[in-house]
Chains A and B, each alone.
Chain A
Amino acid sequence: MAKPADLDDTIRALLADPQWQGHPLHQALDGLYSLYCDHTEQLERMTRISDRYQKAEHDRGMSYAGRHEQQMKRLARLLRISDRYQQSLQQLNEELRQQSEQDELTGLYNRRYMQARLRDELARQQRGGRPFCVVLGDVDHFKRINDAAGHEAGDLVLQQVADLLLSRLRQTDYCARWGGEEFLLLLPMTEAVEADMLVRDVMQKMAGMHITGMPDGTVLSMSFGIAQSGLPAAVSVEALIAQADAAMYAAKHAGRNQLSHAD
């Protein structure tokens, strides 16, 4: 069979050939051929239009995809920044919490935090828990250190005392800077006898401690007062502290560098 292009040529040649003019088939072929040409042209136009629609739709789809991707990237960045803000708030929160619980100079708990711990511990003991001890310790002749070596040296001494106390305490004990050169130990589930041993250990270590920032041979000592919970007079945190305080002053009056138990 002839190829369509060849067929086209053949038909056109036949229609143009003078010898076939007036032939009955000539008119029919001429009509059929022009109809065919019209249809072909129409079909091509339709295909072109259809192709353009398809391309437009495709472009539109691509722009949606592009926009979508852009929005997703933007959203991801928004979330990342937002998460980071939240993290920084959380860190700030943690810093503030630490600041609110800690003594700035020594890093020990501060008085406010310790008061809350003491209330908890007393409540626990009053619910039938084991007794605990409160120990107040005051650095002996601290004013002399400050006067002789200056406040900076005094601060350094307090830091060293704090470190020593922490190093001798057990994991469950709490230690706070209670006042200027005064420290409070909370010893949960501890009776006065055990507290006595622990404090004597601290005193012994302190006697042998080299004090940075002070002249060689400087010996540091503290006076301690121990009060145990669960005794009739120790009904409140305040009463317990008052007892420990009275005991500590008794130790001071008895010549310092010693411990004394609440009555």
Chain B
Amino acid sequence: MLDLNIPATTSTPCIRTDTARGVLHMSGDSYPENAFEFFQPVLDWVQAYLGDSSLPLQLDIGLLYLNTSSIRIMMDIFDSAEEAFVAGRDIRLVWHYQPENERVAELAEEFSEDCSFPFEIMAYTG
């Protein structure tokens, strides 16, 4: 499975996947012009990873601002993760935020409402 390594721009987040370790990392601001096009490789990776193996998946999130389409896509990704978790998969998510930006934590909290898998919201330290 091909891993993704997309560097951040001012309007799109940094995206990295590590199939060997089962990690999907997304961080930064996300307001791409065409969010569905931008995130399609990520959605594909998630579908393939969840479909091809039964290994654990860790979502490593450090997203700041999300436009509406990006929120929608995150909800889709988390739904897929939730489905896999309910089916017995080891899924966990950590949402990192800067302690001075408490709003990010509040919004991560909103996302966590429909997720029953471990969903941690953690301030970066140091």
Which residues of chain A have a CB within 8 Å of any CB of chain B?
Answer: 74, 77-82, 84-85, 88-89, 91
Contact = CB atoms under 8 A, between A and B. Distances in A.
Given A84-B107, A88-B103, A77 B68 contact: no
Contacts of B113: 77
Contact of A84 (B67, B72, B75, B110): B110
A80 B65 CA distance: 14
Interface string B46-79: 0000000000000000000111100110010000
Task: Tell me what chain A mostly uses at the interface: helix, strand, loop, or mixed.
Answer: helix
B106 interface: yes
Contacts of B65: 85, 88-89
B73 to A, nearest CB: 10
Contacts of A89: 65
B124 interface: no
A84 B68 CA distance: 11
Contacts of B33: none
Contacts of B67: 82, 85
A79 B110 CA distance: 11
A82 B68 contact: yes
B36 interface: no
Given A77-B75, A84-B106, 18 more contacts: A74-B75, A78-B68, A78-B71, A79-B68, A81-B66, A82-B67, A82-B71, A84-B107, A84-B110, A85-B66, A85-B67, A85-B71, A85-B107, A88-B65, A88-B103, A88-B107, A89-B65, A91-B103
A81 to B, nearest CB: 5
B96 to A, nearest CB: 17
A77 B78 CA distance: 14
B71 A81 contact: yes
B114 interface: yes
Nearest to B30: A85
Interface centre among A80, A81, A82, A84 (most CB of B within 10 A): A81
Contacts of B110: 77, 80-81, 84
B4 to A, nearest CB: 24
A88 B63 CA distance: 14
5 contacts: A74-B75, A82-B67, A85-B67, A85-B107, A89-B65
